[in-house]
Structure 1
Amino acid sequence: MSEKILFIASECTPFVKTGGLADVVGSLPQVLNQKETTEVRVVLPLYQEIRENWSDDLENVHSFPVSVGWRNQEATLYQLTYQGVVYYFIENEYYFTRRGLYGYYDDGERFVFFCQAVIEALSILPFQPNILHGHDWQAGLAMAFAKIQKPIEHLRTVFTIHNIKYQGIMPLDVYHDLFHLPDGHISGLEWNGLLNCMKAGLFHADKITTVSPSYAKEITTPYFGEGLYPIISEREEDVAGIVNGINVDDYNPQTDPHIPYPYSNIEENKNKTIIQEKLGLPVNSKKPLYVTITRLVEQKGLHLIQAIIDEFLQEDVQFVLLGTGDSEFEDYFYHAAERNNDKLVAYLGFDEALARQLYAAADFFVMPSLFEPCGLSQLISLQYKTIPIVRETGGLKDTIRPYNEYTKEGNGFSFTNYNAHDLLHVLQYSLQIFHDQEHWSTILKNIDEGDSYSWTESAKSYHTLYQDML
């Protein structure tokens, strides 16, 4: 049977992005659609940023009413085609004519509307899916509405957890204010006395996926499950962990327009010199360069880096941190860079071109996450022949194999415990390997000959999942 799949998501490259979810929703459909029997389309909110940047490409399909409790809202459906994929956009001026994607007091209501509008749109879409594939909490209620409000015969649902920490929680008393559902359905939406959009997706979807096999196991435990682990444990037979891929055409050091010296193998020294000059570091191609490119939040293991950075910088190394986020971390790294101005640069903001240049210039990429559902940064660093240093959690554990100097196997460095001195130890070990020409050449060769982590294998897993459901 042919697969007609509608992705439901809150962000997607190249339209809008706040994190890795957008990269997945932007790249996976293109690969899935390469199979003749598969067609994937995507539906998103029409945010202000999309309206401003893509208005000339948007085609008005239809307007229709959407009820959000007692509120009578209107949705307008638009579509455009980009790189062979058809995208639909749900417009509503009240909910989505705002700057930014999230962070508003009524985010819960906004995505109640969005999910309700998606289900209402199924009857007018010029495309009739047999699978709805929802991504993260913003799409969780669509899984519920598809089963409760407008059940369609043979329509199947998949719900993907990209990060279980963010769940879309609302007070229980808004149930009658925002939903047209009998009281008997509260139990499928409620968790710990609150309405929980992530719970709605987990409870109602036919199948559940998450973005790496290790994370699929981790979230069945109290430590990683963010309170929802009992539900995932109950549905363990319906849960699959499929590691994310990356767009290897986009992240390609041979063709990347952002880097000064494109390369096909290990030629970063020229790029390292450029970045050292640009950031005001002493120019020395033989000095190891460590980089971290991340959101400055606790999840990314920044407390570990805080604890050991001054001690590690006593070594003959350079370190660049690029990112923005919590003021605690911005303030700390700003002052740490002042203390170590010839070894540490803290670029507090985000610049895509600079990020690509750092991937290309660095010797090591440091990613000591507290938890990491999949992680894309370590996969990008492998593309640019930059050696990842990670903590063994989630997708980091699944994609980075620690280098073994006896068997000569491995594509990076890793440590197990969430402990600052374990991080310091592996950083010091990586420095030792850097100065050993035989081992350094071997690990670079392993990366060059290893898995590219394109979407090809992961897409096969999704095809198998879809076919089994149909």
Structure 2
Amino acid sequence: MVTDNLAVLFVASEADGLIKSGGLADVARALPESLKQLGQDVRLCIPAYSRIEGVHEAPVVLDTELTFWPHTQYRVRQLALGEVCVYAIECERYFDRPEMYAEHNQAYMDNGERFAFFSAACLDMLPKLNFKPQIIHSNDWHTGLVPYLLRQRYRDNSFFHRIRSVLSVHNAVFKGVFSYDELRCIPEFHTKHVPEAAVSASHITMLKAGVMTADKIVAVSPTYAQELKTELGSHGMGREFQQRSGDLVGILNGCDYQTWNPATDTLIPANYTQELDSLLGGKQACKAALQQRLGLPEVSNAMYGMVCRLTHQKGIQYLLPILAQFLEHNVQMVVVGTGEIGMATKLKALAEQFPDKLRFIEAYDNELAHWVEAGSDFFLMPSEFEPCGLNQIYSMAYGTLPIVRSVGGLKDTVIDYGQNAPEATGFAFYDPSPEQLLITMLSSLLLFEQQPEKINQLRQRAMQQDFCWSSAAKHYLELYRSAIEKETIYR
């Protein structure tokens, strides 16, 4: 019997407002908050990284050790994110470090053991805290062992009877591959025979363990759910996702419009709305301020922005070969991000070659990201793959037209002007090539220069789009209820 109000434990390796490295943290904050607003008893569990401000002063609600071998000692400290209760699992040997996952671009050697322990502790703490969720929602490989342990370790434990598991796949390129010897803290792995997780005779992937044992699997956009069933789109796990296709759904991530709203954003130089005079005046003021901040000439030329990690996933390899040719036109561009050294080096050289047109800021700067969204006319996201993407949604909210490769969540959120001009909210291409990106960028520039009234219509239509988290949360509630009603084949 499914009640209207559910108890949910949301398990993630990071959460915005406490500690963040990427989009997973945005979801780990926004989705529990939205579920809470819908009347659900949702609680969040993350590692108690020493970098979390005030974590070691937070009250201890549990001081214990793992009931199962190796009986690792840990504490649970209680924090809060808005109205959401947060359980932070404290274990100095694993989480008292300068960073979450890596230092100097080198992953911690014991990451497998660290997050295997975290997965085990998330379950171990529940009866000791007397909190019995109906749903445990884990995220990506870091918590992929939660569904596995729920199935294997606790299948005959009456406390865990009827608890269902959901696994969100935010990015299947990261699978958490480790040898059995690196996961000695999980006694179920001592036989070195774990078909639900194995990728070879000596290694397992924690993501596969979750995919093969969770009651429901959710991709962060409908198109990405379909892509995961292919070998290319899943980066080698197509067969596993095909096997679980009956329990795989896609739910598009929401947007935090409290943070990303040009009418109320306190970080940008001028606020504005979708009303045309406000939009034009606000965008002009924000562009001028961005040009001043970057030391670019204050001209009315089209401004192209890009804020991302410098990786192949984000399509930098499509931009670099055609960027010099594009910059010969009456345009300006700003790229903000860090990542692969070779890509950064090429961007620096191009910025020197075009000092009045291109700025490359090698940094992570949240305020500057808001300035780029508000001050640009177009926002580049030519991703090789993009499970959901958020910047294209932020861009539309700011009347900044996204230029995207039509994959994953980008396909689900951006309507291409070339394919459907009356409903368009941006520009899209599909073929993964520099030439197609250049054609699309030139098409946007031509429209900007020759038909500004069309650009303004596109801007206003983009700003009218609504990807709110409250809507996404209702879809998650439907998924949770279907998981609870399911007669699972696993337990």
Shared fold (TM-score greater than 0.5)?
Answer: yes
Alignment equivalent of 1:437, drawn from 452, 456, 471: 452
Aligned position for 1:227: 236
Residue matched to 1:83: 82
1:68 and 1:260, CA in 2 relative to 1: closer, same or farther beyond 3 A?
Answer: farther
CA distance in 2, matches of 1:437, 1:374: 30
Task: Look up the match of 1:116.
Answer: 120
Structure 1 residue runs without a partner (length 5+): none
Equivalent-residue separation in structure 2 for 1:131 and 1:301 (angstroms): 36
The one-letter amino acid paired with 1:145 is L
Aligned partner of 2:24 among 21, 34, 37: 21
Shift of 1:179: 1.7
Residues 72 and 54 of structure 1: is their aligned pair in 2 closer, same or farther, counting only changes over 3 Å? Answer: closer
Tell me the alpha carbon deviations over residues 70-99 of structure 1, each in whole angstroms, 9 at most, x when there is no partner: x44211001122211110000000000001
Q: How does 1:299-378 map to 2 (within 5 A)?
A: 299-378=313-392
Within the alignment, does 1:66 sit opposite 2:66 as a pair? yes
- Matched with 2:292 is 277
1:218-258 per-residue CA deviation (whole Å, 9 max, x = no partner) reads 11111111111101001101000001011111111111111
TM-fit CA distance, 1:408:
2.3
Distance 1:68 1:138, change over 3 A: farther
Per-residue CA deviations over 1:398-430 (Å, capped at 9, x if unaligned) read 000001487522100000100101000000000
Structure 2: runs of 5 or more not aligned: 102-106, 485-491
The one-letter amino acid paired with 1:116 is A
TM-score by length of structure 2 reads 0.92
- Tell me the equivalent position of 2:197: 189
1:281-326 CA distances to partner (integer Å, 9 max, x unpaired)? 0001x21100100011111000011010000000000000000011
Q: Residue in 2 aligned with 1:93?
A: 92
- 2:162 is the alignment partner of 1:154: yes
Q: Equivalent residue of 1:255, what SS? A: coil
| Residue 108 of structure 2: aligned partner | 104
Q: Structure 2 CA distance, aligned partners of 1:148 and 1:396?
A: 37
Q: How does 1:407-418 map to 2 (within 5 A)?
A: 407-418=421-432
1:226 maps to a residue whose letter is H
Paired with 2:54 and 2:292, the residues of 1 have a C-alpha distance of 34
Equivalent-residue separation in structure 2 for 1:405 and 1:65 (angstroms): 59
SS in 2 for 1:43: strand
Q: What is the alpha-carbon distance in structure 1 between the residues aligned to residue 428 and residue 200 of structure 2?
A: 36
Q: Is the 8 A contact 1:68 1:112 kept in 2?
A: no
Is the Cα contact below 8 Å between 1:408 and 1:439 reproduced in 2?
A: no
Secondary structure in 2 matching 1:369: coil
Q: Distance in 2 between matches of 1:264 and 1:378?
A: 18
Counterpart of 1:34 (choices 34, 37, 43) is: 37
Partner SS for 2:86: strand
Q: Structure 2: how far apart are the matches of 1:109 and 1:407?
A: 52
One-letter amino acid of the structure 2 residue matched with residue 316 of structure 1: N
User: In 1, Cα distance between the equivalents of 2:41 and 2:117?
Assistant: 26
Task: Please name the residue that 2:488 is paired with.
Answer: none
Per the TM alignment, residue 150 of structure 1 is displaced from its structure 2 partner at its CA by 1.9
Q: How many Å separate the matches in 2 of 1:406 and 1:49?
A: 47
CA RMSD of aligned residues (A): 1.6
Cα–Cα, structure 1 residues 45 and 407, in superposed 2: closer, same or farther, change >3 Å?
closer
Instruction: Report how far residue 262 of structure 1 moved.
Output: 1.3
1:467 CA displacement: 1.6
Which amino acid in 1 is paired with 2:127?
S
Residue of structure 1 equivalent to 2:489: none
Q: Which amino acid aligns with 1:321?
A: V
Structure 2 counterpart of 1:162, one-letter code: H
The two structures have a TM-score, normalised by structure 1, of 0.96
Q: Which amino acid aligns with 1:66?
A: L
Report if the CA contact (8 A) 1:172-1:190 is conserved. Answer: no
Letter in 2 for 1:64: T
Q: Which range moved further: 22-31 or 120-129?
A: 120-129
Query: What residue number does 1:9 align with?
Result: 12
Identity %: 35
Q: Retained in 1: the 8 A contact 2:396–2:459?
A: no
Distance 1:406 1:413, change over 3 A: closer
SS at match of 1:33: helix
Residue 55 of structure 1: how far off its partner (Å):
4.2
